[in-house]
């Protein structure tokens, strides 16, 4: 009887040891995977990180530096077409100002039309100083190494010209080329959008026709690129490129939150390192994710700059109205928690 009890006790201890070892193995796997995730993402983020190289580390339109997660900030999203130039000296195809306010848990998007007319100085465009479309800033900044930056002139000049246009500080930027955009969408498993008007556009990579039918549709990377780029079809007048871009970003945010991106870290990290440039450090990217991952994308405020397309000296430009620019500036300053009393006074006296 005593021997039977001893055997039972030995079996219990044996099972406890097995359970303990299983737990330790699982814990080791989890810790190892977490370290792998951190090192992989951190390395890719470091490779993509390029500071704006500004005095005191802030915009000249800021009185004090801002802290991500604590203060309202602005980020300029830049979509670059560099396919035909083999990854160098491309042109900005898309420019969207995003504001994030932790006090109100609010996000806003304002599209800057790529054809917006701007004046460029000799420092900015050298022998081509004069009137250009705002998307030329990326090209000239890259070619002429704006501010003596051999790797970041395009982003620096683009940020400067958007600040000049809207009279607001741009705190950070994120630049994505077409390949990066396509690969991110595919890594997310596609993005579902509710297409408001039917249209067609050419596939950027194959030149094949892509038809977009009205209604809910899941777009892969190549389809998504065509969806956000189309601007020469008649339907663009009632279903604008700016509206589609903002609609897509909103849908992509929802998809990114629900797509289990944690398990796609290898794929996303390779995209980050090869196709994305940003002034955000790895720690700041982490702070963004921690502060805004629970944000409801349905609450995003979407703004546009009022103006008209005009042909000047044989070239088509988008020319904002004075009122349109003033309104956009006021909206963005309010989103950023910046005092607007001086802007309101100047608007009243006009």
pLDDT tens-place string over residues 100-131 = 998 888 889 999 999 999 999 999 999 999 99
How far the first Cα of the chain sits from its last, in Å, is 103
Q: Give pairs for 158-161: CB < 8 Å, separation 24+.
A: 158/76, 158/78, 158/92, 158/95, 159/52, 159/76, 160/124, 161/118, 161/120, 161/124, 161/134, 161/137
Instruction: Please check whether residue 159 lies inside any domain of the structure.
Output: yes
Instruction: Please check whether residue 21 lies inside any domain of the structure.
Output: no
- With cut-offs at 50, 70 and 90, classify the pLDDT of residue 33: very low
Distance CA 48, CA 62 (A): 25
Structural domain count, the chain: 1
In terms of residue numbers, what domain contains 154? Answer: 53-173+289-349
Instruction: Please check whether residue 11 lies inside any domain of the structure.
Output: no
Q: Would you state the structure tokens that stand for residue 96, as one six-digit string?
A: 């969207």
Distance CA 350, CA 281 (A): 42
> 148 exposed, middle or buried (CB, 10 Å; 0-12, 13-18, 19+)?
exposed
Instruction: Please check whether residue 24 lies inside any domain of the structure.
Output: no
Q: In the prediction, which pLDDT does 323 show? A: 96
Q: How many CB atoms lie within 10 A of CB 150?
A: 7
Q: Edge-to-edge strands of the sheet including 73-81?
A: 276-278, 172-177, 73-81, 91-101, 106-111, 301-304
Instruction: Please check whether residue 148 lies inside any domain of the structure.
Output: yes
CATH number at residue 341: 3.30.420.590
Instruction: Please check whether residue 240 lies inside any domain of the structure.
Output: no
Distance CA 236, CA 198 (A): 10
Instruction: Please check whether residue 137 lies inside any domain of the structure.
Output: yes
Instruction: Please check whether residue 197 lies inside any domain of the structure.
Output: no
- With cut-offs at 50, 70 and 90, classify the pLDDT of residue 31: very low
Q: Could you tell me where the DSSP H helices lie in 77-175?
A: 122-125, 136-143, 153-166
pLDDT tens-place string over residues 279-314 = 988 778 778 877 777 776 677 899 999 999 999 999
pLDDT tens-place string over residues 64-96 = 999 988 999 999 999 898 766 555 677 888 899
Which has more confidence, 266 or 341?
A: 341
């Amino acid at each position: 009887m005593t021997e039977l009890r001893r055997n039972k006790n030995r079996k219990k201890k044996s099972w406890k040891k097995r359970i303990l070892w299983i737990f330790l193995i699982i814990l080791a796997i989890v810790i190892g995977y977490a370290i792998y995730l951190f090192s992989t993402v951190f390395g890719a983020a470091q490779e993509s990180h390029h500071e704006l190289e500004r005095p005191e580390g802030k915009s000249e339109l800021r009185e004090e530096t801002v802290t991500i997660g604590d203060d309202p900030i602005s980020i300029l999203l830049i979509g670059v077409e560099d396919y035909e130039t083999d990854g160098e000296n491309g042109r900005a195809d898309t420019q969207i100002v995003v504001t994030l306010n932790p006090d109100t848990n609010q996000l806003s998007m304002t599209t800057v039309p790529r054809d917006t007319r701007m004046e460029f100085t000799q420092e900015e465009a050298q022998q081509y100083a004069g009137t250009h479309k705002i998307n030329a800033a990326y090209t000239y900044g890259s070619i002429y190494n704006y501010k003596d930056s051999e790797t970041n002139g395009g982003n620096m000049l683009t940020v400067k010209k958007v600040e000049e246009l809207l009279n607001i500080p741009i705190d950070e930027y994120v630049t994505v080329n077409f390949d990066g955009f396509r690969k991110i969408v595919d890594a997310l498993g596609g993005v579902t959008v509710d297409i408001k008007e039917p249209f067609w556009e050419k596939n950027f990579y194959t030149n094949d026709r892509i038809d977009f039918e009205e209604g809910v549709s899941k777009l892969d990377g190549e389809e998504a690129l065509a969806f956000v780029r189309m601007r020469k079809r008649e339907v663009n007048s009632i279903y604008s490129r700016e509206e589609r871009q903002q609609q897509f970003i909103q849908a992509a945010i929802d998809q990114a939150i629900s797509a289990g991106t944690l398990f796609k870290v290898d794929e996303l990290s390779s995209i980050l390192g090869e196709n994305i440039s940003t002034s955000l450090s790895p720690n700041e990217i982490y702070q963004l994710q921690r502060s805004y991952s629970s944000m409801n994308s349905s609450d995003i405020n979407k703004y546009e700059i009022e103006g008209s397309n005009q042909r000047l000296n044989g070239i088509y430009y988008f020319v904002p109205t004075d009122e349109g620019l003033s309104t956009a500036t006021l909206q963005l300053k309010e989103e950023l928690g910046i005092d607007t009393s001086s802007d309101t006074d100047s608007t009243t006296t006009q």
